[in-house]
Chain A
Amino acid sequence: MPSSLSTPAIPPVLEIHDLTVAYRRKPVLWGVDLAVGPGQLVGIIGPNGAGKSTLIKACMGLTPVQGGWVRFWGRPFAEVCSRVGYVPQRETVDWDFPVSVMDVVLMGRYGRIGLFRRPSRADREVARACLEQVQLLPYADRQISNLSGGQQQRVFLARALAQEAEVYFMDEPFAGVDAATEASIVVVLRTLRDRGCTLFVVHHDLPTARQYFDRLLLLNLNVVAFGPTAEVFTADLLQRTYGGRLTLLSEVAQALGAQGGSR
């Protein structure tokens, strides 16, 4: 844990306490504790089914939680949701949906615009600036069905940028994008970090995880390790994340799930 967090007067940007999430009684996250300060680029690493996506969804109240709590700046998510941005997995939406790139990016403003009102000229300006930042401005009026995978991912990134948030959760923003797009996304992430944002990025590739992130959260059902990349990226801890130690825990979880199913 960074030393600044030990000062009780300043609540951490994100604090997770004993968070437990289960799907039909089978635990997906089990007693997760975490505290993260401002200006951090955090990679969330772990095997398939380790609960990476579930963790960020649970933080934003998108999935029901069985126990524990999540606080942002010491407050519940609902009070601060306009300060939290989100990049969901690309496959979660229908890319044949009849909207343009600009329409999608403007959706990043909807939380601020408020009910019943239309996006203003200022909102459009913000959206254009965000598209510029991900080099998609020439595509603003395109239908989203005409985009490549990398472009789709950048549209989602631009929509999150349009949220002008301080904390970002990104679910596999590098999935299925080419190397050039990946590099440009990393630049955007680092720019945000340098502005004082804290970013949580679910990531799959271990070698690049080491280059990209300041801190790593090694996750498999619970937190295996969290800390500066150099300290955490060790053969021993990775071994524990991807196999070994946790097999017993997973087996018990599996058994609980089976019990839940047979009831």
Chain B
Amino acid sequence: MRNDDKLIRISNDPKFVELVSRRGRFAWILSIIMLVAYYGFILLIAFDPSFLGTPVSDGSITTFGIPVGMAIIFLSFILTGIYVVRANNEFDELNKEIVEEYSK
């Protein structure tokens, strides 16, 4: 049970509370950006398909749909990258401090 008591004490530690709120907020913001981008794209297709079929410039074959679609693929990768860099450095640093403090 000692390990369990330690977990309860950590849950009240201000550092832990800070880690949870910072990482949580960051994760939700990125999730919302991703969801808005994807569902915005889907709803655009459903309600105004002609926009994505408009050529990017006069006389071009490429339509807006191509760069917009590609942008969502890149956005997925970029957002995961941003999260991983911050979580694996800043947040894990903070996490390590907490774990070490309580492993004494």
The reply to whether chain A is a binding partner of chain B is no
Binding site for B on A (CB under 8 A): none
Interface set of B (CB-CB < 8 Å, partner A):
none
